[in-house]
Amino acid sequence: MMDIRKRASLFWVVLYFLAIVSFAEAQTFPQDLDYSYFSNTLVDAGYLWQINSTFHPYACQPLDSNQTNYSNSGAFSWMYRYLNDYTNIVDRQRHKSNDGLRVIFILGLGIAGQTGAASNYNHVAVHPFVLTVACFDKNWYARLYIRATNEVESLPHYSGVKRKISRAGFNTGEIDQSVIGYQNKWTTVEYGRSREIWGPFADDNLLLAGNSPAYERLMLQFNYHRFTCRWFYGFLETVSSPDDVNINRYLVGRVLEYNNKRTLVISVGEISVLAGPNRPADWAFLNPIALHLEVEQNSRENNAVDNRSNSILFLNADWLPIPTLRLTGSFILDDFQLEKADRDQGAPDPVGGSIRLAWTPIRKPAGLTFVGSYVRIGTYTMPHSYGYANLVNRGEMIGHPIGNDADDVALGVRLVFSQLSLFELKIGKRRWGDSSMLYDPYKGYVGASRGPFPSGDVETNRYLALKVISNPMENFSITIEGHIDLKHSGKDSALEAWTFSARYQIPFLIADN
């Protein structure tokens, strides 16, 4: 007990020392409200590479650097202004007294409707929201994002529970993010409800994607010149098994990133899902620099008889070889058969990968970007023989939304107009097999073996996807997006749905001096 108290005291002494010798770094853009989507659009066009990163959402830093002066960005300048409006509020917050409390508020209201064979809700959805980011002293901050709605399926990465009764017309609400953290130039410590998004994109990464429901997690990050190391330990959920035993599920990740802040971002790391009946937090995985394989092979985890863990290695690369061409690639390895006997018996190597090209030959008077992508995630990649160790949370994918045992190929074009609007069109083909976790998120597999991909009866969708965004007035946006089915197998389409939405938001700053 005395040893634990000494360690706790040392921890707080170190934090106090850091607080008196350093100043807080920039905050991040909000994940939602088009901030992440506009950021990715600008990175595709060769802009914002001074803040491009493995970690999303991006750091909220001044955007008019020598490389990316938004006044010279042609049709993309209105997106710059949208991001800079938030950056300017953050900058004002930063320059207020370091000893006072400064709070950014974004109050808003959204409405949405959906139709089509694959629609998830039938009524008009209304969702008010409040996003607050508070800074106090020099280095401490807190973030709170609250949402409510009358249709749980109308909001992305939403995990609130629908109630039988309603209040003011809303029958569900949730706190999507509630975080408190400390940050300086070389380290970040953060605890609370949020999600980790790692990879080239804000949404469709292979392992940690933006569509994941939030979870409680502790995060540590260290920066040294062009290198960043991040670790987190999160509690996903407790699931009741068929025999009424509580299965506790955790998510652990560690990554090392190299970033030259101009043209290249490379990251490598691992993600682990831990699960077991009434499983407590695992001290071995609370070690930020421990490796899953070493812990597992040397029996260092809290390995009760029924506990299981699932580890996946990953490599991400994001490259800008010329100012108008972006090349991205990701590779994941769930397992590798080292034993010849396993290979002789037909055991597969569960892997997955994605490649993507974005070429922007024209930036003004209109922006024109051509996009091509291919994603393939193996049959046994991400699920585990013990289904509660699958890469899911609250029944939803933590990784890529196509799940496993699936692939998707697409070609598209994006047009950005100076009249505050964007048009995106792509044609693609998606396939998924019987072993997809989308059918049963907590189902384990038995006897992995090499075979046809995708497995079993294969569902196929050939589709045309469309997205239109317009900002006809300040703080107000209209979005139309959906899929047109060109051809599909099965009784009904799995993709054909259209969503119409509008949102109004008011950002402002309150400071105590």
Query: Can you tell me the mean pLDDT for 154-178?
Result: 89
CB 60 within 8 A of CB 87: yes
Confidence of residue 423 (pLDDT cuts 50, 70, 90): very high
The alpha carbon of residue 328 and the mean position of all alpha carbons in its chain are separated, in whole angstroms, by 16
**pLDDT greater than 80 at residue 22:** no
- State residue 23's pLDDT score: 38
Fold of 22-511: Porin (2.40.160)
Mean pLDDT of the 153-169 span: 86
pTM of the predicted structure, to 2 decimals: 0.90
pLDDT, position 67: 45
Query: Cα angle vertex 500, ends 396, 52, to 5°?
Result: 60
Compute the average pLDDT of residues 466-470.
Answer: 97
Average pLDDT, the chain: 88
152 neighbors 160 (Cβ within 8 angstroms): yes
Please tell me the distance from the alpha carbon of residue 348 to that of residue 451, in angstroms, as a whole number.
Answer: 9
DSSP bridge partners of 235? 216, 250
The end-to-end CA distance of the chain, in Å, is 44
Neighbours of 450 (CB within 10 A): 13
Report the pLDDT averaged over residues 64-76.
63
> What is the b/e burial string over 87-99, where b = at least 16 CB atoms within 10 angstroms of the residue's CB?
bebbeebbeeeee
Which pLDDT does position 216 carry in this prediction? 97
Provide the token pair at 389: 């160790």
pLDDT at residue 169, as a whole number: 79
DSSP label of 24: -
Q: Which of 70-79, 209-218, 223-232 has the lowest mean pLDDT?
A: 70-79
The residue among 37 and 511 whose pLDDT is bigger is: 37
Mean pLDDT on 208-220: 96
Residue 70's pLDDT band (boundaries 50, 70, 90)? low
Mean pLDDT within 345-362: 86
pLDDT over 90 for what percent of the chain?
69
Of 276 and 5, more confident: 276
Domain positions in the chain: 22-511
Q: Report, as an integer, the average pLDDT of 422-432.
A: 97
67 contacts 262 by C-beta, under 8 angstroms: yes
Mean pLDDT of 215-229: 96
Residue pLDDT, tens place only, 232-273:
999 999 999 888 899 999 999 999 999 999 999 999 999 999
| 285-336 pLDDT, tens digit each | 998 888 888 888 888 888 777 888 999 999 999 999 999 999 999 999 986 5
Please name which of 434, 444, 429, 438 lies closest in space to residue 487, comparing C-alpha atoms: 429
